[in-house]
Amino acid sequence: MTAATASPAAPAVTAAPARLRVPWVVAGFGAVAVAVVVGVAVGPVRIPPGDVVRELLSHVPFLGVESPLSPRDAAIVTQLRLPRVVLALLVGAMLSSAGAAYQGVFRNPLADPYLLGAGAGAGLAVTVVFVATSSTSGSDQLVPLAAFIGALAAVSLAYAIGRSAGGIAVVTLVLAGVAITSFLTAVQAYLLQSNSDQLREVYTWILGRLTVASWTEVALVLPYFVVATAALLLHRRVLDVLAVGEDEASTLGLPVGRTRLTIVAAASLATAAAVAVSGLIGFVGIIVPHTIRMISGASFRVVLPLSVLFGGAFLVLADLVGRMIIEPAELPIGVVTAFLGAPFFLVILRRSTRVGP
């Protein structure tokens, strides 16, 4: 879990608006396709990638493709591995696009989806559930809902405090998010210190997990993915306008306060939905958007759509690494993304310092 606390005064990297080129879109969908096939094929029972493709195509109407797999292998593909891969696609896409949106709204290259306290709010809510619920099955049913509500409540509180303390200034909102994160984390630490028996369950959730993925979780998160992603993509041109500065955007006729609230709400909804089904997975919202920005330019017309595609593919492959690296056990996916993201974060921090005022 990360929270960008660097000075929000750091200027955003701006560039002339770019168009979303066909090769980039093809590369994005290609990355998703490769990640899906590899993610489904690799596991304790190895299934040839060609057979995986034919099995998946056999479920597409009117193609007439027959599955080459036995009933057991087909069940492994469709009931065990494919739901986990699809859930990783959705979570990765939401965290990546939310990170890109936060970086645009706050004009801060170090912003991530947990900037306004979503991670701390979800963590505290989940801790309360584990402490208050003695039954493991009961807590498993309440954890996603608690995480979702806690994440949205923390962001709403940070936004309300920031707005009451200093209007809609970026600095005020970020400082409010830092304060809320610190306070909620302190309360969570107190609860864990007083209820040490729940430490294992809480930290297992905090490190991120896709081990309990099923089609139920996919169906649960899919509507939020559609709504939040559509809202962010519809505002990708607006983010380019915000990148020039609040005063300039207002001069151009953009209602800065209402626009920022809409984008933050959509990004926070995506983050809360992702956290609810996967726990806290850090650095996805930093690694993917920045990699795309370095390759394709800074325009959000390009960064946001490609973040959705490559963010999903990235998390599927990160989850695959976690499944394979210490077989037959699994390394939490949050640990994998932290190993990759921490050095990347330091590189971005150094680059942003060099271009600072």
- For residue 247, is pLDDT > 50? yes
Here the tokens at position 283 are 């650095």
pLDDT, greater one: 315 or 209: 315
**Per-residue confidence (pLDDT) for residue 12, from 0 to 100:** 41
Ranking 119-123, 163-167, 326-330 by mean pLDDT, the lowest is: 163-167
In the structure encoding, which two tokens stand for residue 31, read together?
């990355």
Mean pLDDT across 294-320: 94
Could you give phi then psi for residue 17, rounded to 5 degrees? -55, 135
Mean pLDDT, to the nearest integer, of 36-61? 93
Q: What value does the mean pLDDT take over residues 296-314?
A: 94
b/e 99-121 (16+ beta carbons within 10 angstroms → b): bbbbbbbbbbbbbbbbbbbbbbb
Measured CA to CA, the distance from residue 37 to residue 27 in angstroms comes to 15
353 confidence band (pLDDT: 50, 70, 90): low
Q: Check residue 139 and give its pLDDT.
A: 63
- What number is the average pLDDT over the span 171-193? 92
Give residue 148's pLDDT band: very low, low, confident or very high (50, 70, 90): very high
**Is 50 exceeded by the pLDDT of residue 3?**
no
What is the value of pTM for the model shown? 0.89
What are the structural domain ranges in the chain? 26-354
Q: What is the pLDDT of residue 167?
A: 57
Q: 3-state secondary structure string, 109-177?
A: CCCCCCCCCHHHHHHHHHHHHHHHCCCHHHHHHHHHHHHHHHHHHHHHHHHHHHHHHHCCCHHHHHHHH
What's residue 337's pLDDT? 94
272: left (phi over 0), alpha (psi -120 to 50) or beta: alpha
**Mean pLDDT, residues 241-262:** 83
- In this prediction, residue 256 carries a pLDDT of 83
- Average pLDDT of every residue of the chain: 87
Alpha carbon of residue 124 to chain centroid: 19
Q: Report whether pLDDT(11) > 50.
A: no
pLDDT in tens, 77-104: 999 999 999 999 999 999 999 999 999 9
- CA angle 346/351/352 to nearest 5° reads 95
Judge whether residue 181 has pLDDT over 80.
Answer: yes
Non-local CB neighbours of 298 within 8 Å, separated by 6+ positions? 12, 13, 14, 15, 243
Residue with tokens 């990765």: 92
pLDDT score recorded for residue 2: 45
pLDDT of 113 > 70? The answer is yes
Q: Quick check: 9 pLDDT over 60? A: no
State the residue for tokens 């915000």: 242
pLDDT for 245 beyond 80: no
What's the Cα-to-Cα distance from 260 to each of 23, 175, 223, 327, rounded to whole Å? 31, 16, 22, 45
* Average of per-residue pLDDT across 32-39: 96
pLDDT, one tens digit per residue, over 132-143 is 886 555 566 788
Q: Would you place residue 38 in the very low, low, confident or very high pLDDT band (cuts 50, 70, 90)?
A: very high
Q: Alpha carbon 25 to chain centroid distance?
A: 20
Q: What is the dihedral of CA 28, 32, 38, 44, to 10 degrees?
A: 140
Task: Match domain 26-354 to its CATH number in 3.20.20.70, 3.40.50.970, 1.10.3470.10, 3.40.630.10.
Answer: 1.10.3470.10
Residue 156's pLDDT is 94
Q: Which of the pair, 232 or 15, is modelled with greater confidence?
A: 232
Q: What span, in angstroms and rounded, lies between the C-alpha atoms of 68 and 301?
A: 41
Q: For 300-310, what is the mean pLDDT?
A: 96
pLDDT at 213 over 90: no
The answer to whether 306 touches 296, Cβ cutoff 8 Å, is yes
CA Rg value for the chain: 20
Length of the chain: 357
Q: Which pLDDT value is given to residue 238?
A: 92
